[in-house]
Amino acid sequence: MTSTAKLCAVCVLILLFIVCAQAQQKPCLTASKFGPEDQIGNVNYITPAKTLAATKLVTKGKAYRLGIETNKDTPAYPPRTFAVTIVQPGQNAGGSLGPTKTNYNDDLINGWAGIGSQIDGLGHIGIDNLFYNCNKSADFAMTDGLKKLGVEHVPAVATRGVLLDMAGYFNTDIVKEGTAFNRAEIEGAMKRQGIKSIEKGDVVLFYTGWLKLLGKDNKRYGSVGPGLGRDGAKYLASLEVAMIGTDTWAFEVVPFEKDAGIFEVHQILIPLNGIHVLENMNTEEMVKDQAWEFLFTLGPARITGGVQAIINPIAIK
Amino acid sequence: MTSTAKLCAVCVLILLFIVCAQAQQKPCLTASKFGPEDQIGNVNYITPAKTLAATKLVTKGKAYRLGIETNKDTPAYPPRTFAVTIVQPGQNAGGSLGPTKTNYNDDLINGWAGIGSQIDGLGHIGIDNLFYNCNKSADFAMTDGLKKLGVEHVPAVATRGVLLDMAGYFNTDIVKEGTAFNRAEIEGAMKRQGIKSIEKGDVVLFYTGWLKLLGKDNKRYGSVGPGLGRDGAKYLASLEVAMIGTDTWAFEVVPFEKDAGIFEVHQILIPLNGIHVLENMNTEEMVKDQAWEFLFTLGPARITGGVQAIINPIAIK
Amino acid sequence: MTSTAKLCAVCVLILLFIVCAQAQQKPCLTASKFGPEDQIGNVNYITPAKTLAATKLVTKGKAYRLGIETNKDTPAYPPRTFAVTIVQPGQNAGGSLGPTKTNYNDDLINGWAGIGSQIDGLGHIGIDNLFYNCNKSADFAMTDGLKKLGVEHVPAVATRGVLLDMAGYFNTDIVKEGTAFNRAEIEGAMKRQGIKSIEKGDVVLFYTGWLKLLGKDNKRYGSVGPGLGRDGAKYLASLEVAMIGTDTWAFEVVPFEKDAGIFEVHQILIPLNGIHVLENMNTEEMVKDQAWEFLFTLGPARITGGVQAIINPIAIK
Amino acid sequence: MTSTAKLCAVCVLILLFIVCAQAQQKPCLTASKFGPEDQIGNVNYITPAKTLAATKLVTKGKAYRLGIETNKDTPAYPPRTFAVTIVQPGQNAGGSLGPTKTNYNDDLINGWAGIGSQIDGLGHIGIDNLFYNCNKSADFAMTDGLKKLGVEHVPAVATRGVLLDMAGYFNTDIVKEGTAFNRAEIEGAMKRQGIKSIEKGDVVLFYTGWLKLLGKDNKRYGSVGPGLGRDGAKYLASLEVAMIGTDTWAFEVVPFEKDAGIFEVHQILIPLNGIHVLENMNTEEMVKDQAWEFLFTLGPARITGGVQAIINPIAIK
């Protein structure tokens, strides 16, 4: 070994040492503020007091279902597909069961959970294979179900909901694709609607009119969209909201902001801040009714180890 | 043709005429009181006034998720099966997307909707191929999805919930299989708990302790059970409740009551009265808290043409 | 009861008696000539002697695969759908197994067996709920698999194949939709090609050029076609062939012949004669090579209780 | 920048250069001898002359199906699952189609292709994410189907088959788990059976009696087994066989040989030598008949982008 080679070897070792030392000193990038066992993130902020206060927002008793329909024609991120199959077991040839001639239909689902209205669980998005709360892909993302961070862990959600009418803010029917909602737009919309604050444990929904394209221009609907920007995501994270939703498929603005990563807004919210993301939330009728602050309830189907879930939250004003 | 043969032919014609005439005079057995287009039954009774009143029942802000987990090991009515599959599209060999190294998990569902906590939609049960509101099987139950009565039609459900503690009523941990809940038992449980009335548009839940068997004695859990009887079903239908649920797989008492048809209680409720049925509702913690009257919310995933749905209702006390 | 009513009752009884008596005397319409336990039909005719003779037809050693590809874009009879999903279990984040860094892909199939090149098993087609060999739908067609007549019963098929070039016979590239192949056309094609006989236990394939439309005009491809007619089916059944195939999706002529039932040719072959049907058999290259008589081999995947199977027979000339 | 840091930077650059240069000089580990476009490996050796010669091996005309049944109870490598579902579209309530009352059953498959008798395609196994013929996982293994090396590419297989009776060689009914078949055992079995040679383009099958355990001791069946060893794999690869099969689930010996990698024998055959692997080949009856050399035919279902396929090869003696 020449002296140059020796020196080279030495400095490689030094480099390695520096990298390793930094890695040890640095806490895991996605560590939860709720402790090493936490699997639910900011949903922790939804306390009974929070829930009780939210029920006081109900003044008219009008309940809204926020889900759109999921079927084989619902635009979906490739290669997601969906099929439902109806069967009538044991009823061949006009048969029925027993003296009261019971018939029944049953149904099979063969498809992806991420189609239509959906919640992105905390196991959905990672950063270089690191997911929420220091969970590494190889440790929990098994082919037959997530061993941690599955949607079955989401607690009962009943909290204050806030709806931001971005179409109204931009004075348009459908907010244009590529329009990012950042702090200025969020505060502007709040001011316009007379919403005084966004609070810890809230669910914040954005209305853009984008769902008006569904079934009319599925290509445009499913390829681009307005949505949350990075700064807006960080701002809402700083307010410690529990969940954020939009009436678009992508949730975040597409095309992505200049210099932004691919679905970087998802990264800011899900692994970095433990904030669940809701997509394709239909708030059209709520906007018509100016239902800006309301009781938001959600119970995703508890499929063990599921990443996402097809949902249909209920908002009550 | 002999005169006897002629007479025979004549009386066959007369018989046919009588049968046809009766068929025309008789209204369809499952006709809805909400009109020929109705697809939601007694959920119609959940008016804004009803919802508003139900929110007043919330006194502590405690929210309960009623869903149990659904997975391949959840006991299910044969031949129902379930699998979830996790994939990482486009991330082979440690790859990630873009400069911020985005990773994501996605999930596929391959299974039956009737596993775990579930709602039986109005297209689930029929009587001699006649389903709710005069819908004949051949007219709506297509192999690729129900054309009517699908779960996507269920409106936002936010109403008064009433929990009947049948285990408490029978002074036992787990109510014995074959125990039918009829008018006497329902009224007895109400009286014991101080529940004054069951009202139009309510969701009534029965607690039996049966879910304590889950994972411990799946065979017993999934083959028999206590549950609603025919008289009890008719009684609750007379009170015009919106939905009824239990913490059992079968909902109704199994073995069935003497002389009862196969799942005849389901027939009484679903096609004959437009009352949705909820199964495997976990109310254990609510019983501990004596949360007898509460706000019940439910938004089933809106799968177009789905018969049943895996659900996770939220009860708030 | 009046005397007229009595007489009426009596003659109804007499009528019932006659109907019942006839039903008892009449052998079941689909009874097999191979006995009450038979599940394979004319494949019984493929004896070792037959197989041995067929191997003598091989003169060049050229082997042909007759399967077309099956995927989500393959035209299929509605509502059939198809998806394949690739997974890499346990290899998240660039992982591999063990010291030699083993990686593997696995695949899931979610789709219908009747897509692409397929065999129609003897449990596929019935007549008023009566299937091959007196099997009634309710007795064997369970939702989780056929209890009889499943594709797993098909024995090893190695027999004489005969290819009829109907495009050549009609002097065209693609035989026009609605063109029925009956005795005259079959014998005409045989004569033109110098085929002396069709024999017991043979597999007869028809070439029409129809697969040229695949991927070019899927709508035309999958909605109509030339194919076997009723008389042709009866003729080939009289010759006791084992299987018949075409290069079309429907196998039989569509639109159906005047006064024909819906897929009546299938009924003639499958339940009435125990003859398997093969669809979408790609014989293009065989026609170019004038491979008219050859060794035909087929082993369908033995999926227990399967109705159809995606196949890829091997023909050797 | 200090001079040490400069030197360090320089030597890092030098190291990088050396690594890159070596990578360029080194041929890809899995490069095919059949050229950069090859997707079928040693199946290339099955020429018409080879096929023609193989047909001459048929002396009795007895055809064997080598497939076992695939269903939900077939032991499978976790988490593989399988379900078939039978439907009767458009035939609700005893309905049928048209004047001839046509009924039909259809079937859906929801399961993994690697269950029961199967072929491992050349896209199944890799070495550190490198698959056959320099294909990298990220370049071809898409979630919705392999873009290269899919089973749809397997040509018509009709070639000489050789069956090695390892149970006979070891003078036992069922060869013990962990028994490796290497050059000595292969040559010993050949000698015992009077098989003079294994030749280029052959399909070699091993009989061990292991399938006798199926349905009797599924746990033992599916966790261990006798099978091909590394040296045996290299030996058969040196003979340039086309495919190798066994009557076991794992194909290779389990527990693996001392110091062997996980499924290293698969790596030797599939990516390194382009030799397809066949599992769960039922050769029981062939052994009884001493059918040692025969015509082997195989046409896997041509599912586009499929990794494996459920197969049922036909052997003819």
- Cα gap A89→C138, rounded to integer Å: 10
- Cα gap C51→D60, rounded to integer Å: 8
Answer whether C316 touches D (CB < 8 Å).
yes
Predicted confidence (pLDDT) at residue A19 exceeds the cutoff of 50:
no
Nearest CA in chain A to D83: A108
**How far does the CA of residue B233 sit from the closest CA of chain D (Å)?**
27
How far does chain B reach from its first CA to its final CA, in angstroms? 78
**How far does the CA of residue B4 sit from the closest CA of chain A (Å)?**
35
Answer whether A29 touches B (CB < 8 Å).
no
- Cα gap C72→D50, rounded to integer Å: 36
Report the pLDDT averaged over residues C246-256. 98
Predicted local confidence at residue B253, as pLDDT: 98
Does the beta-carbon distance from B69 to A117 stay under 8 Å? no
Q: Kindly provide the b/e burial profile for residues B254-269, where b requires at least 16 CB atoms within 10 angstroms of the residue's own CB.
A: bebbeebbbbbbbbbb
Asked whether the beta carbons of A189 and A165 are under 8 A apart, the reply is: yes
- Cα gap B251→B124, rounded to integer Å: 14
Tens of pLDDT, residue by residue over A91-103, are: 999 999 999 999 9
Asked whether the beta carbons of C166 and C187 are under 8 A apart, the reply is: no
Answer whether C59 touches A (CB < 8 Å).
no
Instruction: Name the DSSP letter for residue C204.
Output: E
Answer whether A297 touches B (CB < 8 Å).
yes
Q: Kindly provide the b/e burial profile for residues A257-289, where b requires at least 16 CB atoms within 10 angstroms of the residue's own CB.
A: beebbbbbbbbbbbbbbbbbbbbbbbbbebbee
Report the pLDDT averaged over residues C24-43. 89
Comparing CB atoms, the residue among A72, A110, A141 nearest residue C110 is A110
Predicted local confidence at residue A27, as pLDDT: 73
How many other C-beta atoms are found inside a 10 Å radius of the C-beta of residue C216? 8
**What average pLDDT does chain C have?**
94
Residues 6+ apart with CB under 8 A from A257: A180, A229, A230
pTM of the model: 0.92
Predicted local confidence at residue C27, as pLDDT: 72
Predicted confidence (pLDDT) at residue D58 exceeds the cutoff of 60:
yes
Answer whether A71 touches C (CB < 8 Å).
no
- Cα gap B56→B299, rounded to integer Å: 20
Asked whether the beta carbons of D201 and D157 are under 8 A apart, the reply is: no
Chains linked to A by 3 or more Cβ pairs within 8 Å:
B, C, D
Answer whether D261 touches B (CB < 8 Å).
no
Residues of chain B with pLDDT under 70: 1-26
Does the beta-carbon distance from A5 to D11 stay under 8 Å? yes
**How far does the CA of residue C309 sit from the closest CA of chain D (Å)?**
9
More confident residue, B236 or A27: B236
Does the beta-carbon distance from A4 to D8 stay under 8 Å? no
- Cα gap C210→C175, rounded to integer Å: 7
- Cα gap A281→A278, rounded to integer Å: 7
Does the beta-carbon distance from D102 to C63 stay under 8 Å? no
Nearest CA in chain C to D112: C108
Token digits of residue C58: 């091989």
- Please, what sign has the CA dihedral across residues C86, C89, C94, C96? negative
> Helix (H) and strand (E) counts for chain C?
9, 19
Nearest CA in chain C to D302: C69
Answer whether B71 touches D (CB < 8 Å).
no
Predicted confidence (pLDDT) at residue D137 exceeds the cutoff of 70:
yes
Nearest CA in chain A to C106: A143
Does the beta-carbon distance from D12 to A8 stay under 8 Å? yes
Asked whether the beta carbons of B114 and A89 are under 8 A apart, the reply is: no
Cβ neighbourhood burial of D288 (10 Å; 0-12, 13-18, 19+) = exposed
Residue A296's DSSP bridge partners are A159, A315
Asked whether the beta carbons of A63 and B296 are under 8 A apart, the reply is: no
**How far does the CA of residue A111 sit from the closest CA of chain D (Å)?**
11
Predicted local confidence at residue B27, as pLDDT: 73
Residues of B in contact with A64 (CB under 8 A): 156
DSSP 3-state assignment of C159? strand
Interface test with C, best of A73, A85, A91, A92 (most C CBs within 10 A): A92
Which band of pLDDT confidence, cut at 50, 70 and 90, is reported for residue D235? very high
Predicted local confidence at residue D3, as pLDDT: 55
Residue among A296, A67, A302 at smallest CA distance from B310: A302
The CA-atom distances, in angstroms, between B141 and each of A105, B310, C76, C302, D297 are 8, 19, 21, 31, 43
Predicted confidence (pLDDT) at residue C7 exceeds the cutoff of 70:
no
- Please, what sign has the CA dihedral across residues D169, D173, D175, D181? positive
DSSP 3-state assignment of C186? helix
CA A236 to chain centre: 14
The CA-atom distances, in angstroms, between C68 and each of C217, C285, C292, D105 are 16, 13, 20, 23
What interface predicted TM-score (ipTM) does this complex get? 0.92
Tens of pLDDT, residue by residue over A192-251, are: 999 999 999 999 999 999 999 999 999 999 999 999 999 999 999 999 999 999 999 999
Residues 6+ apart with CB under 8 A from D128: C96, C101, C103
CB proximity under 8 Å: C 165-204 to D:
none
Nearest CA in chain C to B10: C8
Chains linked to D by 3 or more Cβ pairs within 8 Å:
A, B, C
Answer whether A33 touches C (CB < 8 Å).
no
Predicted confidence (pLDDT) at residue D156 exceeds the cutoff of 80:
yes
Residue B109's DSSP bridge partners are A111, B84
Report the pLDDT averaged over residues D246-270. 98
Token digits of residue B239: 């009170």
What is the side-by-side order of every strand in the sheet holding D63-65?
Answer: D63-65, D314-316, D293-298, D157-165, D203-207, D243-246, D276-279, D118-120, D308-310
Residues of B in contact with A54 (CB under 8 A): 61
Residues of B in contact with D129 (CB under 8 A): 92-93
Answer whether A7 touches D (CB < 8 Å).
yes
More confident residue, C110 or A19: C110
Answer whether C57 touches D (CB < 8 Å).
no
